[in-house]
Amino acid sequence: MFTVKQLVFCYPHSKDTTLRGISFSIEKGEIFGFLGPSGAGKSTTQKILYKLLTGYQGEVLFCGKPLRDWDRSFYERIGVSFELPNNYLKLSARENLKFFAAFYPNTPADFMPVLEKVGLAADADKLVSDFSKGMKMRLNFARALLHNPDMYFFDEPTSGLDPVNANKIKDIIKELKAKGKTIFLTTHNMFDADQLCDRVALLHQGGIKAMDAPAELKLKYGEKNIKVITANSAMKEYIFPLENIGKNPDFLKIISQQEVIAMHSQEATLEEVFIKVTGQTLV
Amino acid sequence: MKQFVHLLKWDVVLLNRNRLFILAAAMAAIYIGIFYLIKPLGNLTIIVIVLIYNDPVITGFLFASVLLMFDKNQHMVSAITVLPIPFTFYLLSKTVVLATLAVLSAFVMAFATHGLGFNYFHLFCATFISAFMFSCFGFAIGAVSKTFNQLLLYSIPFFIITALPFLALFDVGEPAYYFLIPSTGGLEILRSAFEPNSFLHNIGSYGQMLIWAAVSWWMAVKATTRLI
């Protein structure tokens, strides 16, 4: 869907290069996560991908055609949900959707199904100025779905949401993937990225430091051990190498003779992978 | 075109929700009240010209800058830029709505003070194009202002400069002295709506007004696209 080759970008009047030759591709039907701390270049990359920033070096292709050659019809093919709520406060949720929907072909006349999906049906006619941040974020999200695009850009889609609504949004993202839609997800939330993304790219100081499926990254950067916790007289922890674990006599003895209360593989979390790769935490 | 009409419709709704119509109507009513109070003093033409320029035209500047500040605060500019319409539609729609509002107020004020005895074409062109121009300046200054205080700070020198051609109405210097100031052409055309002026004078004033309208549009587009 998107192919990015050797993308370099420097803001006018800035001495620093924001993006230093990043390359990646996003396949059709994939959820691609873009992770990185503030200032890593995530927003800049996104702005280039949805044509808000020009003047970059390198090659960006959307559906095989250079992004620069796409006219405004490009925006009929993508849906964007921004990190910060951006709705007209003096309009109701329904009016906001009505306003934005009219710019696209083939949008529904009834906005209740999409409002129901994001849990805002009961507040459809309430002014957005009376909404909480979470409600505004869900309205942002609903707006991106309106015109049924091929590709979605979701920037921190669960930010400011309670766990129930965050799950609702994650379920919708999974549903979109099941329908074959392509999703570019930017998030600080490693748990969300782990749950949702087929592949993630770890961005740091304008460069991609690692890129793979979350499970692969966790295995690659984690320890290939298994931790066993037993509780015979007192709680005790044992660490065994995963290699040939089924033939490890010490391991087999413990699980057959002692009361095992927990057993965990020692793979790294995505956050630990990020720290290992970049030497920095995600802030 | 359909999308532009849709934008116009919603800009009217938003102006109404932000109570700017009520504000515009209240200001026009106050000015009409003032006209009736000072009517016995004699010829009101110069005062009508000053007030029409001050109220509907210059409020275009304030309304445009405030609307843009509202949209900036609500992060609406980025939402608009990812729509399948040119970003200039967003500016054009607001300027057209504000200029139409200015024309309506100006005609109400002109009818109230001069009855039917004035040149409708000159009044329409002077108020519409000047309000369009001032709305564009409002967008440009609103775009570079981070806060409402900053907006006010930048507006003061702008208002002082654009008010200088008013001096020509009171015979302080010739209009030609103020030729480079954006408001001069519009003020002269507005004067022509109520007092006869030479054809060549009007042509020069229209030309000056249209050039400044084009410059202000360019400035508005340039400044607002930097917000993206």
Q: pLDDT (tens digit, 0 to 9) for every residue of chain B, 228 residues total?
A: 888 999 999 999 998 988 888 888 888 888 888 888 887 877 778 888 888 888 777 778 988 998 899 888 888 888 999 999 999 999 999 999 999 999 998 998 888 888 898 999 999 999 999 999 999 999 999 999 988 899 999 999 999 998 898 888 888 887 778 888 999 999 999 999 998 888 998 999 999 999 999 999 999 999 998 876
Give me the helix-helix angle, B45-52 and B87-114, nearest 10°: 160
Chain A contact present for B78, CB below 8 A: yes
Alpha-carbon distances, residue A277 vs A35, A218, A221, A271, A274 (angstroms): 12, 11, 8, 10, 5
Chain A contact present for B74, CB below 8 A: yes
SS3 state of residue A179: coil
- Dig out the tokens for A135 from the structure: 């409600």
Please give, rounded to a whole number of angstroms, the shortest distance from the CA of B84 to a CA of chain A.
Answer: 5
Specify the length of chain B in residues. 228
Residues of A in contact with B6 (CB under 8 A): 102-103
CB contact under 8 A, B75 and A50: no
CB proximity under 8 Å: A 58-97 to B: 72-76, 78, 80, 82, 84-91, 95
CB contact under 8 A, A86 and B75: yes
CB contact under 8 A, B84 and A88: no
Instruction: Give the separation between CA B83 and CA A176, rounded to whole angstroms.
Output: 21
ipTM, two decimals, is: 0.82
Please give, rounded to a whole number of angstroms, the shortest distance from the CA of A68 to a CA of chain B.
Answer: 15
Chain A contact present for B18, CB below 8 A: yes
Supply φ then ψ for residue A3, to 5 degrees: -130, 125
pLDDT given for residue A100 in this prediction:
93
| Element at B204 (helix H, strand E) | helix B199-225
User: pLDDT grade, residue A283 (50/70/90)?
Assistant: low
pLDDT given for residue A78 in this prediction:
94
Please give, rounded to a whole number of angstroms, the shortest distance from the CA of B9 to a CA of chain A.
Answer: 10
Instruction: Give the separation between CA A118 and CA A141, rounded to whole angstroms.
Output: 8
Please give, rounded to a whole number of angstroms, the shortest distance from the CA of A51 to a CA of chain B.
Answer: 8
Nearest to B159 by CA among B60, B25, B86: B60
Question: Which member of A76, A84, A91 has the closest CB to residue B84?
Answer: A76
CB proximity under 8 Å: A 130-149 to B: 143
Instruction: Give the separation between CA A51 and CA A61, rounded to whole angstroms.
Output: 11
CB contact under 8 A, B79 and A75: no
Whole-prediction pTM: 0.84
Using CA coordinates, name the residue in chain B closest to A80: B82
Rg, Å, chain A Cα set: 23
